[in-house]
Structure 1
Amino acid sequence: MILLRDDTTDTGCGLALVTTDLTSSPADLITRYEMRWSIEVTFAEARHLLGTGQAHNRTRAAVERTVPFGLCCYTITVAWYALHGHQPGDVAEHRRRAPWYTTKTAPSLSDMVAKLRRVIIAARCIPPAQGQPTEQEIRTVQQTWAAVSTNAAA
């Protein structure tokens, strides 16, 4: 067992690490714990924010697909935010709405999910902008491409 505490206090401990590994040094065990922390945070966020692991599956295949699918959704959300959703003022806007986050320097997964939800809702509610193709126009182009590729193959 390794007991850790902040240098500024002399009472109690802030963290207790218990291990069965008797060959590694305390520094190695603490480093291993630190490296694992971001993975555990990812799993917790996927459970709490995206519902991963809350499905009531009955079949083996469904059970084996649910968590990986949820983690893929997590990845897609972060990738979407990095490529299309991030705005430089996002953190400042969050601080304005929640002034107790004085040390917030980067968006959290919760921020990313909230923004993705807002974008999806807006896309459903706001009519397409001028110059944007309608669904019928998109289908017409796709049918034309299919017809041309069929004729070229013949």
Structure 2
Amino acid sequence: MLYDLAPPRTGKRGRPALKDTRLGTAKDLAATLAFVPFQITRYQRTETVHLAETTCLWYGSFHTRTVRVILLRDDDTDSGYDLALVTTDLTTPAPALITRYAWRWSIEVTFAEARDLLGAGQARNRTRAAVERTVPVGLYCYTITVTWYVLHGHHPSDTADRRERAPWYTTKTDPSVSDMLAKLRRAIIAARFLPTRPGQPTDQEIRAVQQAWATASLDAAA
């Protein structure tokens, strides 16, 4: 619940008020605040949106710390709001904060994919060291998977092959992390079951090592 800022001290005895008039919810604010059009850039697009903001208290979460509530209404929305942000940043212009918020989308997607695809954050650890290490290791595995795919696993036909197997992805233009992970798994399985595994010594190399050991043994005995 949102409240107006605390009123000035009255000079009377007793505890001063920590909050003023109850403002209600973001929905209530959207019905009273004036929305102003702005050009903002988010998700690689520049578009017109309508913003409204106020400075108040989110008393239940931040107690007496002052916050800003920023409401965004898309250009084709007539009432209410499409996005509500609460921030303790009291100086940055609202359009810049909307852009900054949009930047976090890729970060949140990374966390979700690391959790859902690689199990990061799902381990039932109890010791402090294990808790501090498990999630970073999961994120490292995520990074290694993407790096391997970019350097060694990518093929121009990957997206087309995926769309052929899943034709409902009509707008798919790039491989997803799940596609990268599936290809890495196939590459690992193929490497394990190749007729000749890379890195195995040849018979000639084995005999050369055995001969070197035998010579070393004779020298030690002498």
TM-score, with normalisation over the residues of structure 1? 0.78
1:123-134 paired onto structure 2 within 5 Å: 123-128=191-196, 133=198
Larger radius of gyration: 2
The equivalent residue for 1:86 is 154
Change (3 A) 1:18 1:122: same
- Compare the two structures and name the one with the higher helix fraction: 1
Per-residue CA deviations over 1:129-152 (Å, capped at 9, x if unaligned) read xxx6563549x57x95xx7xxx9x
Structure 2 residue 134 is matched with structure 1 residue 66: yes
Give 1:38 shift. Answer: 1.3
Higher mean alpha-carbon deviation, 115-124 vs 54-63, is at: 115-124
* CA–CA separation in structure 2 for the residues paired with 1:99 and 1:121: 26
* CA–CA separation in structure 2 for the residues paired with 1:96 and 1:9: 37
The equivalent residue for 1:17 is 85
Give 1:23 shift. Answer: 2.1
* CA–CA separation in structure 1 for the residues paired with 2:143 and 2:152: 14
Change (3 A) 1:92 1:58: same
* CA–CA separation in structure 1 for the residues paired with 2:178 and 2:74: 29
The equivalent residue for 1:56 is 124
Give 1:93 shift. Answer: 0.7
Give 1:12 shift. Answer: 4.6
RMSD between aligned residues: 2.5
Change (3 A) 1:98 1:11: farther
Partner of 1:13, secondary structure, is coil
Give 1:24 shift. Answer: 2.0
The equivalent residue for 2:40 is none
Identity %: 70
Partner of 1:3, secondary structure, is strand
- Compare the two structures and name the one with the higher strand fraction: 2
The equivalent residue for 1:40 is 108
The equivalent residue for 1:103 is 171
* CA–CA separation in structure 2 for the residues paired with 1:126 and 1:106: 29
The equivalent residue for 2:181 is 113
* CA–CA separation in structure 2 for the residues paired with 1:53 and 1:103: 31
* CA–CA separation in structure 2 for the residues paired with 1:7 and 1:103: 24
Paired residues, number: 141
Per-residue CA deviations over 1:70-93 (Å, capped at 9, x if unaligned) read 111011000110111111100011
* CA–CA separation in structure 2 for the residues paired with 1:116 and 1:34: 30
Unaligned runs of 5+ in 2: 1-68, 217-222
Amino acid at match of 1:24: T
Partner of 1:33, secondary structure, is helix
* CA–CA separation in structure 2 for the residues paired with 1:133 and 1:47: 33
Aligned residue among 193, 200, 206 for 1:135:
200
